[in-house]
Amino acid sequence: MIKQISDNSDMLISRLKDSRYTGKITANFDAYGLGYDFCRFFAVYENDRRVGTVSLFNATMICEALEGEVFGSESVADFAFMIRINKPTTCELEQECAKALMNYVSDGYTLGERHEFEFQCPNGLPELTVDETPRLDDVFDILKTGFPNLVSAYDLWLTDTSHRIRRGLSQAFVLNGCTTATIQYIVGSKALIGQVATLPEMRGKHYARLLLYYIGERLGMDGINVRLFARNHRKSYYEEIGFREIGVDYVLDIKDGI
C-alpha cells in the first residue's frame, strides 16, 4: 500500500538507506517540502509496516527502501499501478526491484542500465576560466544545444534550477562561456552532477572533460564527494577524467508516444 505523506515530514527520509535515491528524495523535500502538487511524497507499506518512500517530482519517480528493508512483490505491484496512473518519464529504483517492475510495465517502458561514478583523482585545482555563479540564461543557451527537449521547458527549468540554487542544493558552472555542467543536488557531503553540454561549434576541444575534472577538484576541496551517472558507451570517457565506477543501477524510461 502507498499513502501520500501530507503532514508528517519526519516520515519522509527517516531511516532511508544511504543511497543515490535518498539523495534525490532529500533534495526534492529540502527544495519544496510538502506543499506542492508537482512534488509529492509517499510512504510505502507492506503488511501494515512502512518499508520505504517514493518521491514524484514532475516527470520523475524515485523509490527507496528503509535500512534493513527491501521492496517485495506487494510494493512492486503498487509501483506499477502508480506508474500507470502518473506516467512518469523516468522511474529510478534499485536493480532487482526495477527488473521486477518491468514485468508489469514493459509495454510502456524500457529498462536502461546506468553506471555510477565517483571522482577519485585529487591533484589540485586546475587553472581554468570557470564561472561558478553564471547567469542561468547563459547556462540554458548552452544546455538546449545538447538537450533539445529543454527548449519547450525553459520556464520549468529556470524556476526549478534557480529555486534549488538559492537553497544551496544545486550549482551551475560555465567554462570559457561555452561548456556547462549543473550539480543536480548537494546533500550532506555528496553531490551529483547532472546536465553537461558544450556549444556545437566548440565541441571536440575537451572542454567538458576539463570542466568535470574542475568540479571534482573544486567541490572536493570543500569535503564534498562528487558523483555522476553514465550509460555504457561513456564509461571509458569518465574513467579517463578521474572518476571510478562504484555501482550499477537501472532506470525505467517511458517509450516514445506513451
For range 27-31, the mean pLDDT: 94
pLDDT at res. 161: 95
Confidence of residue 67 (pLDDT cuts 50, 70, 90): very high
39-46 and 49-57 strand pairing? antiparallel
Give Cα 179 distance to the centre of its chain: 20
Domain 2-107 has what CATH class? alpha beta
For range 22-46, the mean pLDDT: 93
The whole-model pTM stands at: 0.89
pLDDT tens figures, 219-235: 988 899 999 988 766 77
Q: Tell me: pLDDT of 248 over 70.
A: yes
pLDDT at res. 257: 60
CATH 3.40.630.30 residue ranges for the chain = 118-248
For range 86-95, the mean pLDDT: 94
pLDDT tens figures, 193-223: 989 999 999 999 999 999 999 999 999 888 9
Which residue type occupies 38?
A: F
CA distance 209 to 211: 6
Given the candidates 3.40.630.30, 3.30.450.20, 3.30.540.10, 3.40.1260.10, the CATH classification of the domain at 118-248 is 3.40.630.30
- Dihedral angle, C-alpha 195, 112, 156, 2, nearest 10 °: -130
pLDDT at res. 235: 72
Contact call for residues 213 and 242 (beta carbons, < 8 A): yes
Percent of the chain with pLDDT over 90: 73
